[in-house]
């Protein structure tokens, strides 16, 4: 854990597209004062933007402590880190360059604070893939941006709910390109990250992971595509030799229709819709997007900017609240996992000494 181990975890919130529902969701979640019992929130946005959306939520009471340094937080109040000072035209429901520009500003400052250990976890509000693109930000979403920022070789977009966890081999990629990037090495890498995350982040001692097939009916033994035979099955075999408890490939339609996902701790889907359609259909509106493979914890609600309802005060904050809870749970799980594994040799030596003493007492 970071320098904040003696306190409640400090959780940052990037504001997302300022014309979307992100700020509204953050206000709704943090207006419940009980949140302050389990974490110290820091919202990376702007005072005027927050006040703009507060007007559409007159029944909610929320106060902010404005800070200029992410290390100088007020643990008894919601904190607001002003990421920009200039006046910005907010137009709820409109996708424009302004919404994307300030979403990126908020995300970059919040992510740097996460990387530097100034905050313990980060919940990212929704951004739009199109209007965030510029010369300084050329990513298809949060996940590849965070991968590059943290300098890791691989990460997994892991969708998390109470009843299932689904990781993606490929993320925001055109369907026609999916088969071209599926390799034995990429499958093993994702399986390894999922396995590690299930153990450390979710306290599952011996994770059981399912892998879906690429083709209809998982290729029908090579009749409908060769990827299952030539790539996926060899990857599963090699992963098992690395002590990863994995099975498949399964035909995606039958796998979810028959409830087979309930028998596994996680599922590796090979492309976006193969995993996200069943996840969003079966997660009961409480799904969370978690980036597995980072040294720090980042979660997000499992939906987008919802421009069609932005500014109306009717957005459902359930997934954002669950993203916060999941972020806190993973932070605490990592602390406990690491605590149990601090200097095991020393613990073993102490145990040997204790046994020797017991034996000496018994002999006397």
Task: Write down the architecture of domain 154-293 according to CATH.
Answer: 3-Layer(aba) Sandwich (3.40)
The answer to whether 298 and 121 are in contact (CB under 8 A) is: yes
Segment 347-361 shows an average pLDDT of: 47
Per-residue pLDDT at 265? 98
- Asked if 323 and 123 count as a contact pair (C-beta separation under 8 A), the reply is yes
Half-sphere exposure of 206 (CA within 13 A, CB side): 3
Query: What are the sequence ranges of the domains in the chain?
Result: 1-152+294-364, 154-293
Note the pLDDT tens digit of each residue in 89-116: 999 999 999 999 999 999 999 999 999 9
Decide whether 1-152+294-364 matches 154-293 in CATH topology. Answer: yes
Residue 213: phi and psi, rounded to 5, are -80, 160
- pLDDT exceeds cutoff 60 at 50: yes
pLDDT tens-digit series, residues 171-198: 988 999 999 999 999 999 999 999 999 9
Q: Angle 59-62-65 (CA atoms, 0-180°, nearest 5)?
A: 165
The tens digit of pLDDT for each residue in 65-75 reads 999 888 889 99
- Percentage of residues in the chain with pLDDT exceeding 70? 92
Mean pLDDT (whole number) for 277-306: 93
Predicted TM-score of the model (pTM): 0.89
Nearest Cα to Cα of residue 25 among 1, 47, 65, 54? 54
Name 322's Cβ contacts closer than 8 Å, sequence gap at least 6. 286, 287, 288, 301
Domain 1-152+294-364 is found in CATH 3.40.718.10: yes
3-state SS, one letter per residue, for 153-201: CCCEEEEEECCEEEEECCCCCCHHHHHHHCCHHHHHHHHHHHHHHHHHC
Quick one: pLDDT at residue 250?
A: 97
- Name the one residue in this structure whose structure tokens are 């976890």: 121
């Amino acid at each position: 854990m970071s320098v904040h181990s003696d306190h409640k975890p400090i959780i940052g919130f990037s504001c997302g597209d300022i014309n979307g529902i992100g700020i509204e969701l953050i206000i709704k979640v943090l207006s419940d004062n009980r949140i302050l019992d389990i974490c110290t929130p820091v919202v990376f946005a702007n005072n005027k933007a927050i006040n703009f959306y507060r007007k559409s939520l007159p029944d909610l009471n929320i106060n902010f402590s404005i800070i200029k340094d992410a290390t100088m937080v007020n643990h008894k109040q919601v904190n607001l880190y002003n990421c920009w000072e200039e006046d910005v035209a907010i137009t709820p429901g409109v996708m424009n360059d302004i919404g994307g520009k300030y979403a990126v500003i908020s995300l970059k400052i919040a992510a740097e604070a996460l990387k530097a250990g100034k905050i313990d976890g980060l919940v990212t509000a929704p951004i739009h893939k199109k209007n965030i693109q510029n010369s300084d930000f050329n990513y298809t979403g949060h996940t590849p941006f965070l991968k590059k920022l943290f300098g890791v070789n691989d990460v997994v977009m892991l969708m998390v709910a109470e009843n299932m966890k689904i990781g993606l081999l490929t993320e925001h990629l055109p369907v026609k390109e999916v088969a071209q990037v599926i390799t034995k090495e990429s499958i093993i890498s994702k399986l390894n990250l999922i396995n590690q995350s299930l153990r450390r982040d979710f306290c599952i001692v011996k994770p059981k992971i399912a892998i879906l097939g690429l083709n209809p009916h998982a290729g029908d033994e090579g009749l409908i595509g060769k990827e299952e035979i030539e790539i996926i099955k060899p990857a599963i075999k090699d992963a098992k030799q690395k002590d990863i408890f994995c099975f498949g490939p399964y035909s995606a339609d039958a796998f979810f229709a028959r409830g087979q996902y309930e028998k596994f701790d996680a599922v590796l889907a090979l492309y976006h819709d193969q995993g996200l359609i069943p996840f969003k259909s079966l997660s009961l509106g409480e799904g969370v997007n978690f980036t597995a493979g980072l040294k720090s914890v980042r979660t997000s609600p499992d939906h987008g900017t919802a421009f069609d309802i932005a500014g109306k005060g009717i957005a459902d904050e359930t997934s954002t609240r669950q993203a916060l809870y999941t972020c806190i749970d993973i932070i605490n799980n990592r602390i406990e996992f690491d605590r149990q594994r601090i200097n095991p040799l020393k613990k073993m030596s102490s145990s040997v000494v204790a046994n020797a003493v017991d034996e000496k007492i018994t002999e006397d």
